[in-house]
Amino acid sequence: AGRKVVATRKLLPASQERLEQQGFELIQWPKDSSMPRDTLLKDIKGAEGLICMLSDKIDKQVFEAAGPGLKVVSTMSVGYDHIDLKAAKENNVKIGYTPDVLTDATADLTVLLTLAAARKMKSGVRAAETGEWREWRPDWLCGYQFKGKTLGVVGIGRIGQAVASRLKAFGIDRVVYWGRSEKPELKESLNADFVSFDELTASSDFIVACCALTPETKEVFNYKAFKNMKKNAIFVNTARGGVVDQDGLVKALQENLIAGAGLDVTTPEPLPTDHPLFKLGNCVILPHIGSATIEARETMGDMCVDNVLAALEDKEIPFVLKY
C-alpha cells in the first residue's frame, strides 16, 4: 500500500484528486457523515496525514492508534480545542489549520446573530408564521438599536476585530475588550479599550464571544457573569459552546437578566431539540455555521489539502499552528 492519508469526511473530488495524483492512498469515510470514532482508530493506523473536522476529537488515543508515522493533523477549522496539543507534541505531529479565510464569514454571522437577537427576530418570525401577527402595534417586538451603544468583545483576534469594525458601521460608540493581553494597536484602529472581564460584562450593551476555548475562557460566561450584565444586554457566542455555562445562560434568559442571546455554538452539538434554550423566544440558535459561506468553505478545503501535502513532502506547512 502507498503512503496513507485519512480524511474523516469525504473530500471534494478536486481535493481527492490532488492527494491521489501525488501517490497517496486516501482513506475517507464514504457516507455523508463523519467517520465513526472506532473506524478512525482503525483506519488511522500507519497513516502519515489526517484531515479532520472540528467535531472530531483528536486525543492521545488517536495519536497512539496512528503510530509513529503520523506527521500532520490538518483540521478544517480555525479552532483547535478538539486537538490535544500536548499529545500532538509528544508524538511530534504538526498541526495545520485554516485561519483568516473564515474571518469575514464568521464576523458576518456574528453580526447577523447580534441583530437578530437585538431585534427579536425569532419572536417576530414565529409571530408572522403563526398568526400571532394581528396588527401593527407601536409597542410590539421592540428591540434595541446600536447607535451610541457599547460593544464588548471577548477575544479580539481577527474575528473579534472584524465584528467590531462591522458594528461600528451600525453606530456603536465604544468598543471594549477582554482577553489574554492588551493590544495597544486597537486603540488606533478601533478606539477599543482593554478592560477587566467584570467591567466588560457590566458596561456593554452587546457582548460577543469570539475567543478560543482555553482553560482561561472555559465557562467564563456563567450565571454570575450574566447577572452582572445590563438588563438590555445582548449576548452572542460564535466561538465555542464551552465558553458558556449553558445552565447559567438558560437561567439568566428565563429570569430576563439579559435581553437576549444569539448562539452559533452550543454544548453539546447538535443541541437536543427539546433543550430549554429552544423554548425561549429571546434566544436565537444556529447550527454552527459561522464559516459556512461557499467562498470560505472552498478555500478551507483547499488549505487543508495544502497543509497535508506540504507536511508529507517535508515542506513548510503554509498554515501551521504554532504551539
Number of residues that bind ligand GLV (CB under 6 A): 13
* Helices and strands, number each (H, E), in the chain: 13, 12
Residue whose C-alpha is closest to residue 254's, from 284, 273, 225, 280? 280
Is residue 185 within 8 Å of 164, Cβ to Cβ?
Answer: no
Q: Is 291 in the site for ligand GLV (CB under 6 A)?
A: yes
Verify binding: residue 103, ligand GLV, rule CB under 6 A. Answer: yes
Helix pair angle (13-21, 294-312), 10° resolution: 10
Query: Coil, strand or helix: which one is 219?
Result: coil
Q: Minimum Å distance from CB 44 to ligand GLV? A: 21
Measured in whole angstroms, how far is the alpha carbon of residue 306 from the centre of its chain? 22
**Shortest distance (Å) from residue 126 CB to ligand GLV:** 27
In the complex, the smallest distance separating the C-beta of residue 175 from ligand GLV, rounded to whole angstroms, is 15
- Give the CA distances from residue 79 to residues 29, 158, 244, 262, in Å, rounded to whole numbers and listed in that order: 22, 12, 16, 19
Nearer to ligand GLV, 107 or 280 (CB): 107
Strands 4-7 and 25-28: parallel
Residue placing its CB nearer to ligand GLV in the complex, 143 or 160 = 160
CB of 70 to ligand GLV, least distance (A): 21
Given 49, 152, 157, 179, the residue binding ligand GLV (CB under 6 A): 157
Q: Which stretch binds ligand GLV (CB under 6 A): 28-36, 77-85, 122-130, 175-183?
A: 77-85
Q: Does 79 bind ligand GLV (CB under 6 A)?
A: yes
Would you give the end-to-end CA distance of the chain in angstroms? 32
Nearer to ligand GLV, 176 or 280 (CB): 176
Q: Which is nearer to ligand GLV, 117 or 209 (CB)?
A: 209
Beta strand segments in 43-158, E: 49-52, 72-75, 94-96, 150-154
Q: Which residues does residue 283 pair with via DSSP β-bridges, in sequence order?
A: 261
Q: What mask of x and - would describe binding to ligand GLV in positions 210 to 249, judged by CB under 6 A? A: --x-------------------------------------
What's the Cα-to-Cα distance from 118 to each of 140, 145, 218, 258, rounded to whole Å? 14, 7, 25, 11
Check if 288 is active-site.
yes
159 is an interface residue for ligand GLV by CB under 6 A: yes
113 makes contact with ligand GLV (CB under 6 A): no
State which of residues 77, 204, 237, 282 lies at the interface with ligand GLV (CB under 6 A): 77
How many Å apart are CA 29 and CA 116, to the nearest integer?
36
Among 288, 304, 307, 312, the active-site one is: 288
**Contact footprint for ligand GLV (CB under 6 A):** 54, 77-79, 99, 102-103, 157-159, 212, 290-291
